[in-house]
Chains A and B, each alone.
Chain A
Amino acid sequence: DSGVTQTPKHLITATGQRVTLRCSPRSGDLSVYWYQQSLDQGLQFLIQYYNGEERAKGNILERFSAQQFPDLHSELNLSSLELGDSALYFCASSADGTGGTEAFFGQGTRLTVV
């Protein structure tokens, strides 16, 4: 158990809908990262938050957004969903704000868009 908690584990929704994925980082970790994993693209970095503020952006679509709350949990919002958004979404956390320290991953949310 990595100590990172993601909910829900599975989500099935229709095209055009909006969903919210939730992540609780390990106790004491200030950074939260979101990744998308699909069969053809592998693990892709989406966005990072550090202590409540956006720190870095990767390959995140404009239809996607995230935030980190004062209690350090984070939410990833996906809107106007398309079939191609079906993937595993992982949250990871690390102690500091640099990407050079080990990050610990949650078990992921499997999103299926139908």
Chain B
Amino acid sequence: EDQVTQSPEALRLQEGESSSLNCSYTVSGLRGLFWYRQDPGKGPEFLFTLYSAGEEKEKERLKATLTKKESFLHITAPKPEDSATYLCAFYSGGGADGLTFGKGTHLIIQP
């Protein structure tokens, strides 16, 4: 069964302390790996799409990478405004055309 697992469930960092969030996936035919950011009570905000192993994308303090089994979201020198839940999702195109989401990593950046 296709599935996605995110770790850790929660992460507390000091401002400026870099770290990485993990997204492990098992899917028969990956056609897209997505990262979203979600603030409390709000809709997910699109960050990145990765399509093939070895691909990397960057946006401000965030960089997403993809291997054949995992994706990482690297956060460099985070600020308190980076606090949010980060969601990973994949699209396999195997019938249902929606995204399959992980449970997310709840990130808190302390000043």
Residues of chain A whose beta carbon lies under 8 Å from any beta carbon of chain B: 2, 4, 33, 35, 42-46, 48, 55-58, 90, 92, 97-108, 110
In whole angstroms, what is the CA distance A103 to B100 when docked? 13
Residue from the list B43, B93, B95, B98 in contact with A107, Cβ < 8 A = B43
The verdict on A58 contacting B44 (CB below 8 Å), with A42-B103, A100-B32 known, is no
Residues of chain B whose beta carbon lies under 8 Å from any beta carbon of chain A: 31-32, 34, 36, 41-46, 49, 51, 87, 89, 91, 93, 95-104
B44 touches A90 (CB 8 A): yes
B87 touches A98 (CB 8 A): no
Q: Show 25 A/B contacts (Cβ-Cβ < 8 Å), sorted by A.
A: A2-B45, A33-B97, A35-B98, A43-B87, A43-B99, A45-B96, A46-B98, A90-B44, A98-B91, A98-B93, A99-B32, A99-B93, A100-B31, A100-B32, A100-B49, A100-B91, A100-B93, A102-B46, A103-B99, A104-B46, A105-B43, A107-B42, A108-B41, A108-B42, A110-B41
- Beta-carbon nearest neighbor of A104 in chain B: B46
B97 touches A55 (CB 8 A): yes
B91 touches A99 (CB 8 A): yes
Main secondary structure of the interface of A (DSSP, over half): strand
Main secondary structure of the interface of B (DSSP, over half): loop
**Which residues of the other chain, B, contact A99 by a CB distance below 8 angstroms?**
31-32, 91, 93, 97-99
Q: A99-B99, A100-B91, A102-B34 are in contact. List 10 more A-B contacts (CB 8 A).
A: A48-B97, A48-B98, A56-B96, A92-B44, A99-B91, A99-B93, A99-B98, A104-B46, A105-B43, A105-B46
- Beta-carbon nearest neighbor of A59 in chain B: B96
Name the residue in A35, A43, A104 with the highest tally of chain B Cβ atoms < 10 Å from its Cβ.
A43
**Which residues of the other chain, B, contact A105 by a CB distance below 8 angstroms?**
36, 43-46
**Which residues of the other chain, A, contact B89 by a CB distance below 8 angstroms?**
43
